Amino acid sequence: MQEAEGHMAESEWTIARADPEDAEDILRFLNRVGGESDNLLFGADEMRLTVEQEREWIRSQGSLPHSVTLTAKRNGEIVAIGSLAGSNRERIAHRAEISLVVSRDCWGQGIGRSMMEALIRFGRENAIEAIDLKVRSDNRRAIRLYESLGFKACGTYERFFKIAGGYYDALLMNLSL
């Protein structure tokens, strides 16, 4: 996958494959953004992997033909992480699940769209026929982005998230490539 570049609020950003040497920065980023939004599957400081475990996970992603983890960096700092997770199981090897995390201070600046486009492109280039995702059903901004990229709603997980004692549904979405 080639590195991509873009612009965000007068500063440049780049999208590239995650590097095992980024493991500590990735964990720091995820633990921080977990506290910025209730739209994620995790909260602040819930990424309890060691740096070495994260490095190994990044290495393993790099060795799977249908999977990739990307980072977006602005001025050398991680501002977004996206992944496409495929399977080696023959019956579902044509499918992958996408996930995306964008730092709150970068929302609305195009980085989410650029990351999604890069992940979808990787899927197309690597024999993925369908991409699935889950999104909190009241996260209208993300749903609009996914719909604009061709994703369609295909189901609901009721009471999927439990946050501060309240339950929230997750919308299942799918993109046929």
* Domain contains 148: no
Number of domains in the chain: 1
* Domain contains 28: yes
Tokens of 135: 């999104």
* Prediction pTM value: 0.86
Convert the pLDDT of each residue in 165-175 to its tens digit.
Answer: 999 999 999 99
Q: Domain containing 37: what range?
A: 4-131
* Domain contains 105: yes
* Domain contains 139: no
* Domain contains 166: no
Looking up residue 50, the CATH number of its domain turns out to be 3.40.630.30
Confidence of residue 35 (pLDDT cuts 50, 70, 90): confident
Convert the pLDDT of each residue in 75-134 to its tens digit.
Answer: 999 999 999 999 888 999 999 999 999 999 999 899 999 999 999 999 999 999 999 999
* Domain contains 114: yes
* Domain contains 138: no
* Domain contains 152: no
The predicted structure's pLDDT at residue 63: 76
> Tell me, what amino acid is at 31?
N
Sequential DSSP letters for 55-102? HHHHHHHHHSTT-EEEEEEETTEEEEEEEEEE--SGGGTTEEEEEEEE
Confidence of residue 4 (pLDDT cuts 50, 70, 90): low
Cα angle, residue 91 at apex, residues 88 and 95 outer, rounded to 5°: 70
